Structure 1
């Protein structure tokens, strides 16, 4: 059967598009030769514009962030295949959803930033740059269309009399024979699928709404504007979706991975903040390994597009996180350089967002957004860099539940008036990178700013909440006991995140008691959590590490054994403790035994592998670093324990040390401090070993099954200077990995 071509907008390309219309070769869409849809009807139908009006298609919103449409919309020659490359579309693409009358401003417009095609049919899932919250997605059917069943097809393509109609149209089609991946249809009452309707939905009534049965792929276009009047056939071939419900759910539920060149393949960025650059020891750098064998890259401050300049002991990359901040489908790196000297202010610090692009980080038009006190407008421009501020010591970045990108940048050495090193944090949000400051002197923030609190020394956030620690804060007379403040991303009257509550161990609702040197909040991890009573993941699970916690184990005091406490934070802003976790005794059900100097919880990382589904022990995971752990007589060899964030700690724990079945090579080595560098992704656990035993450091990527209780151990991937295209140079490679 011939294939429809994409609709071409009213440009100079019109003439050539008209000339080839009779050839009927695959493509995008715009409307069905039926009746205009009722105002607001079929609002989930999307109009897809490709390459600034050169082509157009239709589609259907099946999730707040995803549209399903035809793969042929995104290939130049559908006759040679209808499967586009995975990742960011080759040309700019926008989708308009909820605007059934294109002369209005209703609905929402989004960029399409990622394609996930099916290889077995003309169909693709297309991710939007941010969620659509004003239109209800259409449900994907699980029932094969019956022969003769009447289906409604919608689209924005040509009609009988219009080349580029301005309203959504619909028509009735009778279902015909069904094959493995396709289904045949015939237009009723002269309805036809026209150029521009490719990817549009075929719908079955379901109660008061509809469900998606298939999407337009190919048609004879009988009666469509511009077609030979002798062509009267209205038969069409659609790509089935009724057998793809599980596939759609898997794709839309999956959390993002780092993809700095937006090709749909996971990449990794590894910091080596002590590396020498241009003869400057400790200047620091970041190395990127692009997935799929696409090479490596080095980022340092001697590159002309990176602010600052490589200097001794800058420690560029001491902190790092990742987010698609400009929402173009390419992951960006947020990097802190807290030891950067600014004029005479030593260790004043700076931070940057380094933007990913199709050819890698720093290769696009937008390269960097820079954060430095005394530069720019607002709170940053009005402040002055001072020695020991350490802007960028801690970073957290992500996207709010509403779809807005953000970054939190800690300045733990910042003085507030005459209060030395009380600490501060910056909240960066929005496309214009608006910056506001948060401190314990801000309105409604619990606690009191005091000298040496170091508020902002540790920060963490997910799409729902923000946590900022002052782990050196005195609680009563207990110096260095530590506190954590939790905020909502919703902005208050001052334009700052809304403070919700503070946590410390003097509260009756928090396990333990505030003691000197506990350092409650020295590490944080937070993930979104969907309770059974909620549709989206409105809540969070927060883990707080206290590596200085002293424990009584079988009647013996164990100084700095360390522990972790987990909390549920609700959408309403309340909290409840879930559990307290430590290595315990040799006879309990948690692997290991708490010993003096273990510093259990010095590093934490967590992940929700399926944030759209109801949270479970299987999907919410926590990894705890124990860098002071002695393995036998090998001091500070370090270890890692993984847990579920839900349920009893011992029910799902898994112990990891060098040389065991989990896959970290070698044997326990003194002062290797395994567990000092950890980062969970949705595919596994990055374990950095900057302190050896390798000469330059290493990062080991452990598959999720290797770090899950009862999992089957699989081969790991190691990133190490001197192999895999990485130069044999460095000092603390693996200090951070994202």
Structure 2
């Protein structure tokens, strides 16, 4: 423990931890304090840690987060309150909003992540899924003062019960405060007992000011009758609102080994494995200097076997699919042959664990046509299906993990390469196509529905960039869905988009490829209580634009649409490089293919969205830098601000910090991915012989930001083997 205890409290019990825990056979009235009444203590939680090793209390401060005591998770609270960030060592079950534990109200969740304080007996504990129907506690902004009366609650022992089944409360008086704690004395014989640790301490306005921490435990069950003192110490939280909000409101990091430090998975789908050229590998770099790992199909826990030109890792995404606190990696291998069926494709969810991906009991969930259940089990693998060419994974607003799998080469009946997508959730999956009820468009050969997919907590977008619109081949369209399942068990179709609609600017033209790239980010407008809307970005890299009177073929364009919670939409802007004299960086030129790739992020998903928090990155891989053809560039914009005001130009060697110099056919912009901390730009085509990935901090990719040091991942450095062929093709 890094802070010093009060001298007069040195004789306190080491912690108010109940353990081992034994539940009473029948309810009993608590007498240390009083049975709970009213709603003030409604968000109180009971925590069971390990195999009934310890019992604690806590309080809900957000739909997904509790505040509780760090001492609940410390190995030896008497010696130190240091608790590692990340997944708890022991399984921890939280029952929230259930004053009588024999009831069914409230919710039961697992604690999957700890974010400890280092200055006091406090830890934030993330739940595996949101809690509904229980209003979180509000943190006070005023410190407790001497003489102030406060109320406390907990599920700990009473005078007569070892493990009561009802929440109890009591009153206490503040004796004194310091910067992190308050000394208190129980009123009318009330005392915090073992098991009350981490329980809420409220002021008269029912705001959270502190947590139960330590007590003399006078009158508590099992304490010597000669101990009559009811004094104790409470850990202050009234000054922690900004810390709580920063942690609760942050974008979830990729954390394969669940230690609270960001990790990264980088695909090299052209890498050779066991002599098989193009078999493909994924390399994982664990944050905090915890090493690297290689994943390929020759590992005994990964389905399939490495074969030439499988291109394992051609598509990837991440999600905590089994909700254990460890990020899971979703890997697409669309060029996989299934038996003699070429390029049928398959997808795997590779599960994270405390010792890294693939080290836990659950290692791999496998998806291929003709195997398993749902639509995949009922279908047949065909040549050129390319299952897994596009992937989008995440968690719905209700807390349900999902994966969307694009299968653009799927034939529907006799219609070749019409395409479909598979929506995976829970232990089942279901197909979506342009033949599904309510999905706009018609099933036609070579539409390639499912070529690009995007999803956030609110919506799903699936495109058919090769769909003919009004006779214009490859003009492209897309469909948008909510996660609500309709009567067929499919996500509910909301609307379709193409450039022949009056509500979409431009006009459908042959080769536009509207929908060739997609990006979605949650959006919270001013006045809204939560981010229940989305901003959808749609790339049309084949768009022709007239610039200064001249037609620029395949220069590219990006549209942005606002999607409301009710499912309506409106176009809010377009992005292009424009002319050489406008306020947007660059100039639209033939063959740039602006919008070939897209990535979007809301860096503050709980807050009202602003121009600074809503970010879009656009890949322009065919951009010529001077006379250097296909050098490529990335441009960043605000998703809700004027393009020219908020754009930034990123190329090799410029002030943003992307190293090197522009090189021919490097195609910078083919691989881009936003996280909550920065923008990953892959350079699989050089200049390094194996490829590289650069992580640019947000300041580097934000207009007006000051460039800071970037992080580079390159084979032959940082524990990565000096091998590969397209390292950085995808980074997640």
Q: Any runs of at least 4 consecutive aligned residues in structure 1 with deviations exceeding 3 A, and if so which?
A: 9-12
Are positions 1:329 and 2:340 aligned together?
A: no
Distance 1:519 1:555 in 2: 23
Is the 1:31–1:155 Cα contact (8 Å) retained in structure 2? no
Aligned residue for 1:614? 608
Give the 3-state SS of the residue equivalent to 2:366 in structure 1: strand
Q: CA deviation at 1:647?
A: 1.7
Q: CA deviation at 1:102?
A: 0.8
Distance 2:193 2:403 in 1: 45
Select 2:342's aligned residue among 341, 346, 358: 346
Is the 2:63–2:136 Cα contact (8 Å) retained in structure 1? yes
Distance 1:572 1:11 in 2: 48
Is the 2:15–2:77 Cα contact (8 Å) retained in structure 1? no
1:552-631 alignment runs, 5 A limit: 552-631=546-625
Distance 1:320 1:10 in 2: 43
Select 2:681's aligned residue among 687, 699, 703: 687
Sort the Cα spacing of 1:315 and 1:687 in 2 relative to 1 into closer, same or farther, 3 A.
same
Is the 1:32–1:192 Cα contact (8 Å) retained in structure 2? no
Are positions 1:436 and 2:447 aligned together?
A: no
Q: CA deviation at 1:9?
A: 3.8
Are positions 1:728 and 2:727 aligned together?
A: no
Select 1:508's aligned residue among 502, 523, 534: 502
Sort the Cα spacing of 1:190 and 1:448 in 2 relative to 1 into closer, same or farther, 3 A.
same
Sort the Cα spacing of 1:31 and 1:90 in 2 relative to 1 into closer, same or farther, 3 A.
farther
Distance 2:22 2:583 in 1: 70
Q: CA deviation at 1:33?
A: 2.0
Distance 1:354 1:276 in 2: 21
Is the 2:16–2:215 Cα contact (8 Å) retained in structure 1? no
TM-score (norm 2): 0.97
Aligned residue for 1:27? none
Distance 1:193 1:32 in 2: 12
Are positions 1:8 and 2:8 aligned together?
A: no
Q: Which runs of 5+ in 1 are unaligned?
A: 15-29
Are positions 1:78 and 2:72 aligned together?
A: no
Q: Which whole-Å deviations, capped at 9, do the CAs of 1:287-328 have from their partners, x for residues lacking one? A: 000001100000000000000000000000000000111010
Q: CA deviation at 1:663?
A: 1.1
1:202-213 alignment runs, 5 A limit: 202-206=201-205, 210-213=206-209
Q: CA deviation at 1:39?
A: 7.4
Select 1:420's aligned residue among 412, 416, 427: 416
Q: CA deviation at 1:650?
A: 0.6
1:14-25 alignment runs, 5 A limit: none
Distance 2:67 2:31 in 1: 18
Aligned residue for 1:23? none
Q: Quote the RMSD (CA, aligned, Å).
A: 1.3
1:170-181 alignment runs, 5 A limit: 170-181=169-180
Select 2:647's aligned residue among 630, 649, 653: 653
1:54-453 alignment runs, 5 A limit: 54-206=53-205, 210-430=206-426, 432=427, 434-453=428-447
Select 2:470's aligned residue among 456, 476, 487: 476
TM-score (norm 1): 0.96
Q: Which whole-Å deviations, capped at 9, do the CAs of 1:102-132 have from their partners, x for residues lacking one? A: 1112211111011001111110000000000
Is the 1:561–1:600 Cα contact (8 Å) retained in structure 2? yes
Is the 1:32–1:156 Cα contact (8 Å) retained in structure 2? no
Distance 1:145 1:479 in 2: 70
Q: CA deviation at 1:358?
A: 0.4
Aligned residue for 2:516? 522
Give the 3-state SS of the residue equivalent to 1:320 in structure 2: strand
Is the 2:15–2:78 Cα contact (8 Å) retained in structure 1? no
Sort the Cα spacing of 1:160 and 1:44 in 2 relative to 1 into closer, same or farther, 3 A.
same
Is the 1:31–1:197 Cα contact (8 Å) retained in structure 2? no
Distance 1:35 1:665 in 2: 65
Distance 2:612 2:452 in 1: 27
Is the 1:32–1:197 Cα contact (8 Å) retained in structure 2? no
Give the 3-state SS of the residue equivalent to 2:336 in structure 1: coil
Distance 2:40 2:696 in 1: 48
Distance 1:52 1:63 in 2: 26
**Number of equivalenced pairs:** 717
